[in-house]
């Protein structure tokens, strides 16, 4: 079980680098959707025995992270008819290198935190921190609204990975609440994105600069 889980986490880490390096926004959204769906399966591997609440969470996560949220975003993309290219502040190669550095940093830092017995051999803690850091890189170096949402989703994915350490400790009701908030959040954000597009005829957040000191 441990080796399968670690293999999945490595794939997730590689996907982080792909997100940073991808040049077209469609590809970026698809990679993040795949990442989310892959993560959704992890509760099955972590928890002992197959229980109904676990199955429900897995189904909800895979549907929401893998289908619903990317669906909403693709739709916003189509409605807004925006440029397809990712326009980063720093070049894609540089941000990929930065992402690799973040992964290294996470691996080093995670060594300092005490982890209980059954979790000792898992990569959950470093994978979570690395994904959170990659989310921050995306949020700060991309200018279009949809790209920033992608950054937010990657950040959420990182937090979700950490949540796997707590499958036993946190009631699943709360996790469903978190998922619901995520969906509603993305939904509201996408509505705003459409309004931004209509009012500014662009999704470049650099144009949102009339309110300042």
Contact positions toward another protein, by CB under 8 A? Answer: 112-114, 116, 132, 139, 145, 148, 152, 155-156, 158-159, 162-163, 165-166, 168-171, 174, 177-178, 180-181, 184-185, 188-189, 192, 195-196, 199-200, 205, 208-211, 213
Nearer of residues 84 and 195 to another protein, judged by Cβ? 195
CB-based contact 58:39 (threshold 8 Å): no
Nearer of residues 91 and 140 to another protein, judged by Cβ? 140
Beta bridge partners of 85: 24
Which residue do the tokens 């990679």 mark? 31
Phi (first) and psi of residue 29, to 5 degrees: -60, -40
Q: Which two tokens stand for residue 107?
A: 């691996």
Task: Give dist(CA 173, CA 150) in Å, integer.
Answer: 26
CB-based contact 40:179 (threshold 8 Å): no
Taking the complex as a whole, how short is the minimal distance between the CB of residue 59 and another protein, in angstroms? 20
Taking the complex as a whole, how short is the minimal distance between the CB of residue 195 and another protein, in angstroms? 5
Taking the complex as a whole, how short is the minimal distance between the CB of residue 27 and another protein, in angstroms? 23
**Angle between helix 25-46 and 145-163 (nearest 10):** 10
CB-based contact 10:124 (threshold 8 Å): no
Nearer of residues 66 and 151 to another protein, judged by Cβ? 151
Nearer of residues 3 and 210 to another protein, judged by Cβ? 210
Nearer of residues 99 and 151 to another protein, judged by Cβ? 151
CB-based contact 167:56 (threshold 8 Å): no
How many angstroms from the chain centroid is the CA of residue 116? 26
Taking the complex as a whole, how short is the minimal distance between the CB of residue 35 and another protein, in angstroms? 16
Nearer of residues 7 and 87 to another protein, judged by Cβ? 87
Taking the complex as a whole, how short is the minimal distance between the CB of residue 91 and another protein, in angstroms? 23
Taking the complex as a whole, how short is the minimal distance between the CB of residue 53 and another protein, in angstroms? 15
Residues in contact with 15: Cβ distance below 8 Å, sequence separation at least 6, in sequence order: 31, 32, 34, 35, 38
């Amino acid at each position: 079980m441990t080796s399968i889980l670690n293999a999945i986490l490595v794939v997730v880490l590689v996907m982080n680098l792909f997100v940073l390096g991808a040049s077209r926004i469609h590809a970026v959204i698809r990679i993040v959707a795949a990442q989310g769906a892959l993560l959704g399966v992890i509760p099955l591997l972590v928890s002992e025995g197959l229980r109904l609440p676990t199955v429900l969470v897995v189904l909800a996560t895979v549907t929401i992270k893998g289908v619903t949220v990317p669906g909403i975003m693709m739709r916003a993309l189509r409605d807004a008819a925006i440029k397809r290219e990712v326009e980063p502040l720093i070049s894609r190669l540089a941000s990929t290198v930065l992402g690799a550095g973040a992964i290294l940093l996470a691996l080093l830092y995670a060594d300092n935190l005490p982890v209980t017995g059954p979790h000792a051999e898992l990569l959950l803690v470093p994978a979570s921190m690395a994904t959170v850091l990659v989310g921050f890189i995306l949020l700060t170096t991309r200018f279009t609204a949809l790209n920033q949402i992608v950054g937010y989703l990657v950040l959420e994915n990182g937090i979700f990975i950490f949540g796997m350490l707590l499958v036993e400790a946190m009631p699943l009701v709360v996790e469903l609440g978190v998922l619901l908030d995520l969906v509603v959040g993305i939904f509201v954000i996408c509505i705003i994105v459409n309004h931004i597009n209509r009012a500014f005829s662009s999704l470049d957040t650099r144009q949102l600069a009339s309110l300042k000191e």
